Amino acid sequence: MQRETDFVVVGSGIAGLRAALEIAAGGACVVVLTKERAAESNTEYAQGGVAVALSEDDETSLHEDDTRGAGAGLCDERAVRVLVEDGRRYMRELIEWGAEFDREGGRLLFTQEAAHSRRRILHAGGDATGHEIVRALLARARADERIRFLAHAATEELIVEDGRCRGVRYLDPLVRASRSLRARAVVLASGGAGQLYLHTTNPQVATGDGMAMAYAAGAELADMEFVQFHPTALNVEGAPRFLLSEAMRGEGGVLRNAEGKRFMPRYHERAELAPRDIVSRAIVAELERTATRTAFIDMTALDARFLRRRFPKIYDTCLRHGLDITREPVPVSPAAHYIMGGVRTDLDGRTTLHGLYAAGEVACTGVHGANRLASNSLLEGLVFGARAGRAAAAAAHAADAPGSPPDDTNGDGAGQATMSDANAGEIALAVRKRVRRLMWERVGILRSRQSLTRALGELEQIERARSLRAPSRNFVTVALLVARAALWREESRGAHFRYDFPAPDDARWRVHSINSRTSGVSASEVIEFSAGSNLREMAKARR
């Protein structure tokens, strides 16, 4: 049976949904593939909100300055400008589409977060912002007959023919066999890779598959060494690493050590409102100093009714684990949260592979630099998802038709497996468990040549195992990309910290890392992309 469509979008978070809506608006048909249910994505779990300069005392120039400040010298300025300026328009549009953000007296309610110079964070349901955004975008997408969702269909690889991405191969959820879906273009919006780490705030689906597939297909990846660790994840034995939002510190929460003493003023002039990388390292330092395993966030100085209203999801979750945030400090420690690197794109989502576009956390536009500013991720997904969808639709009009798909019997059907599904599952579980611990211990918040070299040695050994199937191979590939880039960058900058190179070095290292199958890890200047810049031509010129 032939399977083809006009466009494929991989992922149903804010970037994927916005890309699909933009493509469908031009009259084309779109299939949105999701690994789990359509609503399951990093967007769904986003609590803090969306940063956007819409309040009366704010300006896009201030938002731009804050973004660049957090990015530690690696933000591409044109990308930041697009984010903050286009973000205003797309957020107003999202509100028109029915997204209900919190208000007071009919006016939008803005809050403060770390490293922001203004109260510019919009939130919904207190701390359920991502859920509300997904609800609004899904409702609009499901009302459009040109958009079709295929849930529980894990994408396995990209179809590349004659140097162009022509579709995807995915695991059919009904018959558990590999299928091909051909299209004029593919938009990757598959999210991040937080599951690479033993402790993470990310959902189970955040395994970096999109990055690995793009790399295998020949696309370039950038800035993979920059992994952001959120300072305050719930640290209770037996409980998931539930995110305790940045907004808790923005509203006045303070961090205390095991001795009950506030410590952040000793580490940074902005104390709890310092950038995330500084707060995370401060907590690690304090844990080592006190020989303990947890710090605490203390909200007890704030009004209890305000806390229950402002953080209802966090309040209820902590309560289920025997903790009342209105009465006692809550144990926290850092956890992997966001990756600034990803598939390298220009401002319109174009990658270095024809026919492949990317947006959201899977992509790297250079907008975040070395360290993402709090609450810029949802705005990035919205803005660059729309831009990628629009660019893909426009370019595909001049592209060849998808053509006839290959016979599905040529795929990696379940009947062709060389081992039982049970054995494959056991191997995958063992690989993931080992990689996650290795990444946490050797490629985590604090790194060194010794730790990174040891991690790479073991990861390369795992990669050589012939028993690895596609999901496990993708997982190991992304871990290797992070570790190689981290070893290559011999300085500390933003979220990347090296014991052996503790200071930033602008003279040598104010560059992006570029990772490709053909040239390994190399450097690219921090540049201002033009709106029509073509990364494919830039890649050819460099080679």
Q: Which residue has the higher pLDDT, 426 or 399?
A: 426
Q: Cα(502)–Cα(487) distance, rounded to whole angstroms?
A: 13
Say whether pLDDT at 524 is over 50. Answer: yes
Is residue 280 assigned to a domain?
Answer: yes
Residue type, 201: T
Return the structure tokens found at 69: 């400040």
Q: Is the distance from CB of 112 to CB of 251 less than 8 angstroms?
A: yes
Confidence band for 247, pLDDT divided at 50, 70 and 90: confident
Q: Is 257 helix (H, G, I), strand (E, B) or coil?
A: coil
Same domain (yes/no): 211, 360: yes
- Work out the angle at residue 75's Cα, subtended by the Cα atoms of residues 212 and 249, and round it to the nearest 5 degrees: 90
pLDDT, averaged across the chain: 90
Cβ contacts of 401 within 8 Å, gap of 6 or more: 184
Cβ-count burial of 107 within 10 angstroms (0-12 exposed, 13-18 middle, 19+ buried)? exposed
**Percent of the chain topping pLDDT 70:** 90
For 346-368, give one letter per residue: b (16+ CB within 10 A) or e.
bbbbbbbbbbbbbbbbbbbbbbb
Is residue 445 assigned to a domain?
Answer: yes
Return the structure tokens found at 490: 């011999």
Last residue of a domain, one of 334, 358, 378: 334
Is residue 102 assigned to a domain?
Answer: yes
Number of H helices, E strands in the chain: 16, 22
* Overall pTM surpassing 0.85 (yes/no): yes
Q: Cα(28)–Cα(21) distance, rounded to whole angstroms?
A: 10
Q: Cα(227)–Cα(197) distance, rounded to whole angstroms?
A: 10
Q: Cα(115)–Cα(373) distance, rounded to whole angstroms?
A: 7
- The total number of structural domains in the chain stands at 3
DSSP-assigned beta bridge partners for residue 228: 338
Is residue 413 assigned to a domain?
Answer: no
Same domain (yes/no): 309, 200: no
142 is annotated as an active-site residue = no
Dump pLDDT digits (tens) for 278-310: 999 999 999 999 999 999 999 999 999 999 999
Same domain (yes/no): 188, 292: no
β-strand pairing of 363-364 with 185-188: unpaired
Identify the pLDDT of residue 412.
40
Domain CATH code at residue 174: 3.50.50.60
Last residue of a domain, one of 314, 334, 354: 334
Same domain (yes/no): 199, 138: yes
Find the range with the poorest average confidence among 123-127, 420-424, 459-463, 526-530. Answer: 526-530
Is residue 305 assigned to a domain?
Answer: yes
Same domain (yes/no): 67, 191: yes
Is residue 426 assigned to a domain?
Answer: yes
* Candidate list 166, 276, 498, 536, residue with the active-site label: 276
Say whether pLDDT at 535 is over 60. Answer: no
Same domain (yes/no): 372, 443: no
Dump pLDDT digits (tens) for 43-94: 665 556 899 999 999 999 999 999 999 999 999 999 999 999 999 999 999 9
Domain CATH code at residue 297: 3.90.700.10
> Quick count: other Cβ atoms within 10 Å of Cβ 218?
18
Identify the pLDDT of residue 197.
98
Same domain (yes/no): 169, 112: yes
Say whether pLDDT at 36 is over 70. Answer: yes
CA distances from 216 to 159, 348, 354 (A): 11, 22, 14
Q: Cα(255)–Cα(263) distance, rounded to whole angstroms?
A: 7
Angle between the N-to-C axes of helices 377-396 and 77-96, in degrees from 0 to 180, rounded to the nearest 10: 90
Identify the pLDDT of residue 527.
60
Same domain (yes/no): 206, 242: no
**Residue closest to 256 by CA, chosen among 230, 304, 292:** 292
**Percent of the chain topping pLDDT 90:** 77
Cβ contacts of 370 within 8 Å, gap of 6 or more: 71, 72, 73, 74, 223, 226, 340, 493, 494, 495, 496
Is residue 527 assigned to a domain?
Answer: no
Same domain (yes/no): 381, 443: no
Is residue 524 assigned to a domain?
Answer: no
DSSP-assigned beta bridge partners for residue 356: 186
Same domain (yes/no): 195, 296: no
- Domain holding 53, by residue range, is 7-225+340-396
Same domain (yes/no): 347, 318: no
Taking the alpha carbons at both ends of the chain, their separation in whole angstroms is 40
Same domain (yes/no): 272, 346: no
Mean pLDDT throughout 85-106?
A: 96
Last residue of a domain, one of 287, 311, 334: 334
